[in-house]
Homo-oligomer: A and B are copies of this chain.
Amino acid sequence: MSPQPPARRLRSDSASRPLQKGQQTKAAIVDAALGLATQIGLEGLSIGALAEVMQMSKSGVFAHFGSREELQISVVREYHARFEDEVFYPAMAFGRGLPRLRAMFDNWMKRTSVEIDSGCIYISGAVQFEDRPGPVRDALAGSVNTWLSAMRRAIEMAVAEGHLHPGTDAAQMAFEIHALILALHYEARFLGSPDSLQRALTAFDGIVGRFSTAATPVPETPPPARSRKTTRVATQG
């Protein structure tokens, strides 16, 4: 496994100047490819299928990517960039420590909730590529590992801030938080269980309670502009 972080997406790289025609076309193709991948799976994505959706010739799509694998990797990078934009960067507005960690989890939950209808490439892709070593699998695993590392760093900061016990095992806590997201996705999307979101929130508070310093109650996040309706029952158990 090579956990190299996927590159930032094209439009961020060139934020200040207009995209050139070729870049615009490529960005539009990647956008359509991502939409297709969430429907039929990253595995099912092909240059032919995409050309049909884009009403382009196969050779036209091929000119931008060169191979099916490169197309799939571009989709992973785009997915990663959107994930960062929705989950990671907004959480940076919160104070270091537990407020930021909680914001990261809340944003992750929000994104997962949306994906209960559409599916999640990190989850479906893991199943599709677990037995297929190669650059697509590496890009997917690298992307997930980058995010899990960010979670661990946020936990370490919460320890440094004195919000969590000095002996907190960041990898352990990140594993447990990741588990909640996987269970939320599985039970809500596949089993249709309506209470999964609340259960994941309750469980998160349970994990934080276990690792938090006894003297410090879990600080409530001061949200810039958000409501967390479900907090009221989140300390049960």
Which listed residue (B1, B175, B200, B210) contacts A183, Cβ 8 A? B175
Q: Contact: B190 with A186, CB < 8 Å?
A: no
> Given contacts A190-B126, A190-B141, A237-B169, is CB(A179)–CB(B175) below 8 Å?
no
Interface size range on A against B: 35 or more
Task: Write the chain B residue with the least CB distance to A209.
Answer: B210
Task: Write the chain B residue with the least CB distance to A180.
Answer: B179
Q: Identify the interface centre among A39, A131, A236: most chain B CB within 10 Å of its CB.
A: A131
CA distance A127 to B120 in the complex (A): 10
Residues 166-184 of A at the B interface (beta carbon under 8 Å): 167-169, 171-173, 175-176, 178-180, 182-183
Residues 126-165 of A at the B interface (beta carbon under 8 Å): 126-131, 141, 144-145, 148
Binding site for B on A (CB under 8 A): 1, 39, 119, 123-124, 126-131, 141, 144-145, 148, 167-169, 171-173, 175-176, 178-180, 182-183, 186-187, 189-192, 195-196, 199-200, 202-203, 206-207, 209-211, 236-237
